[in-house]
Chains A and B, each alone.
Chain A
Amino acid sequence: MTGTAMDWASVSDAEVVRACRAGDDAAWRQLVERFSRYVLAIARAHRLSESDAEDVFQDTFARIYEHLGRLRSDDAVRPWIGQLTRRLCIDRLRASVREPVVDDPEEQGELDRRLTAVDEAVSVQEALRTLSADCREILDRFFCRDQSYHTIGELLDLPPGTIASRISRCLAKLREAYEGRSEAPPASGEA
């Protein structure tokens, strides 16, 4: 697999990992691009300062680069990166004299909820990537851009009365893809 002229949108995480191991520079750029927001979102969920979050970001990708060969299941790259990032965040908080590590159960619960939300958002993004371009577009227009059925119908040359049913079918496909991904194998890497 080479990185030139590659349509990365249709490439799975596991394939990106394999290409990284094979020394494909473009695959490394794709890996960073694909997981940057995830890593930063976890760091921010831990309420790290911007500079600490940036440090965690750098450390995380340095560790990924160093230890990717130890990842036992390529499909588990996301949970592995999530665990790694969380561990580095906690290390950063422990090292900080400004903010003690969270030990209040209520705060811990809030942190867990934020991390769960981050994981879910990333899983939805990943599931979205598996849908057809038509489905991605119609879901994006309705749920993200707040466009009406009439506006979507005009733009896509479809009767407005059919848009709701199309959205429902695309949502069903998204749910199927999301639930399939939710049953991915657990992280098994070491870092």
Chain B
Amino acid sequence: MPGDDLSALPVQGLLDELASENPAPAGGSAAAVAVAMAAALVEMGARRSPGWADATGVAAQARTIRTRIVPLVQADADAYAASLAALAAIEDAPGPGRDEAIASALAGAADIALEIARAGTDTAFLAELVADRGEPSGRDDAQAAAVLAEAGTRVAAALVAANLVTAEGDDRETAASSCARSAAMVRGRMGE
């Protein structure tokens, strides 16, 4: 559903779009939604911790991350659709500079996936703070947030790697895998 706004759909509508035979939206959009949900859970946990001095600041940061990531649900679908269209055009007209053209077609999708991965890692750090210092009753939701954040980060990091498959040694792949490791480490510290 490139061109419209997936983030404005009700949950059922978004799931229908993900389930449709269209190639986009796909994993990147799903990862962005996972991270956005994680950020929302973190915000809730902070808001429900009035006795914690940093709660307001953590809630503000979680809200900022959520605000940043919501547009990426659609942006990733658009970038993925554009990549597929560009790849199809290259397939139809192979010639000199083909590898560069493929790399260029995939680069936009890699940038968005990296943004999702970074937001996911940041959200995992915030979830850990809420679990450690927020209201004890919010710990389960903070853990849920960390799991969602890690999942979204790992998916996004895998997409960065997939989109940069022709660009060996690209810093973005290193950055994305570092994000995935950090999110996993944070979630691991929080236990099961």
Contact = CB atoms under 8 A, between A and B. Distances in A.
Interface of A: 142-143, 146, 148-151, 160-161, 163-165, 167-172, 175
Interface size class on chain B is: 20 to 34
A165 B53 CA distance: 10
Contact of B58 (A143, A151, A164, A170): A164
Given A146-B68, A160-B182, A172 B56 contact: yes
Contacts of A163: 125
B60 to A, nearest CB: 6
Given A171-B56, A172-B53, A150 B61 contact: no
Contacts, number: 55
Contact of B56 (A148, A150, A165, A168): A168
Contacts of B175: 150
A115 to B, nearest CB: 24
Given A143-B64, A146-B68, A150-B182, A171 B57 contact: yes
Given A164-B126, A172-B53, A172-B56, A148 B121 contact: yes
Given A167-B61, A172-B57, A150 B129 contact: no
A172 B182 CA distance: 27
Given A150-B178, A160-B182, A172-B53, 10 more contacts: A143-B64, A150-B118, A161-B186, A164-B58, A165-B54, A165-B129, A168-B53, A168-B54, A168-B60, A171-B57
B43 to A, nearest CB: 13
Nearest to A172: B57
B119 interface: yes
Contacts of A170: 57
Interface in B132-183: 175, 178-179, 182
A175 B182 CA distance: 31
What are the 8 tightest A-B residue pairs by CB atom distance, in nearest-first order? Answer: A168-B57, A168-B54, A148-B118, A171-B57, A149-B122, A148-B122, A164-B125, A164-B126
A151 B125 CA distance: 14
